[in-house]
A and B are shown apart, each in its own frame.
Chain A
Amino acid sequence: MNQEAEWEPKLLGFLCKWCSYAGADLAGTSRKKYPPNIRIIKVPCSGRVDPLFILKALRMGFDGVLVSGCHPGECHYQTGNYRARRRVAITKRFLEYLGIEPERIQASWVSASEGGKFAEVVTEVTQGLKEVGPNRVFSERRLNGAKTKAGSTSTARAKQG
Chain B
Amino acid sequence: MEQKLRQEARALLEQNKVDWIIGFEPGSLKFTTTPLITRDKADTERLVINPFIFNNLADFLTETKGRVGIVAKGCDSRSIVSLIQDNKVVREDVVILGVPCPGLIDLAKVEGLTAKDRDELDEITRQGDKVVVKVGGQKKEFASNQVLFDHCLACELPTPQEYDILLGEPIPPAPNIEASGKNIDALKKLTPAERWQSWQDELSRCIRCYACRNVCPACFCQRCFVEESEPQWIAPMPRWQDNLIFQITRNIHVAGRCTDCGECERACPVNIPLRSLTREMYDIVGELFKFKSGMDKEALPLMTHYEQEEAEDFFR
Q: A residues within 8 Å of B by Cβ?
A: 51-52, 55-56, 59, 72-73, 79, 82-83, 85-87, 89-102, 106-109, 121, 124-125, 137-138, 142-143, 146, 150-151
List the 6 shortest-distance A-B pairs measured between CB atoms, nearest first.
Answer: A99-B196, A82-B306, A99-B195, A89-B311, A108-B316, A151-B193
Give the residues in chain B near A55, CB-CB below 8 Å.
245, 248-249
Q: Are A94 and B192 in contact (CB under 8 A)?
A: no
Give the residues in chain A near B288, CB-CB below 8 Å.
86, 89-90, 93
Q: Are A83 and B303 in contact (CB under 8 A)?
A: yes
Give the residues in chain B near A52, CB-CB below 8 Å.
225, 233, 245, 249
| Cβ-based interface call for B92 (8 A) | no
Q: How would residues 80 to 124 of chain B score, 1 for a CB under 8 Å from any chain A CB and 0 otherwise?
A: 000000000000000000000000000000000000000000000
A-contacting 9-mer, from B20-28, B149-157, B277-285: B277-285
| B176 to A: closest C-beta gap in Å | 21
Give the residues in chain B near A95, CB-CB below 8 Å.
248
**Contacts A95-B248, A98-B196 given; does A90 touch B255 at CB 8 Å:** yes
Give the residues in chain A near B309, CB-CB below 8 Å.
72
**Contacts A97-B280, A99-B199 given; does A85 touch B241 at CB 8 Å:** no
Q: Number of B residues contacting the other chain (C-beta, 8 Å)?
A: 42
Q: B residues within 8 Å of A by Cβ?
A: 187-188, 190-197, 199-200, 225, 233, 241, 244-245, 248-249, 251-252, 255, 277, 280-281, 284-285, 288-289, 302-304, 306-312, 314-316
Which secondary structure characterizes the binding site on chain A? helix
Q: Are B316 and A92 in contact (CB under 8 A)?
A: no
Complex Cα gap A51–B304 (Å): 15
Complex Cα gap A90–B191 (Å): 20
Instruction: Beyond A83-B304, A86-B303, A151-B196, list 13 extra A-B contacts (CB 8 Å).
Output: A51-B252, A52-B225, A85-B310, A85-B312, A94-B280, A98-B277, A99-B190, A99-B191, A99-B193, A109-B316, A143-B193, A143-B196, A151-B192
Which one, A85, A87, A101, contacts B252 given CB within 8 A? A87
**Contacts A90-B281, A93-B288, A97-B280 given; does A143 touch B248 at CB 8 Å:** no
Which one, A72, A92, A101, A121, contacts B308 given CB within 8 A? A72
Identify the closest chain A residue to B241 (Cβ).
Answer: A138
Identify the closest chain B residue to A79 (Cβ).
Answer: B306
Complex Cα gap A87–B304 (Å): 10
Complex Cα gap A152–B245 (Å): 22
Complex Cα gap A151–B191 (Å): 7
Complex Cα gap A83–B255 (Å): 13
Give the residues in chain B near A124, CB-CB below 8 Å.
316
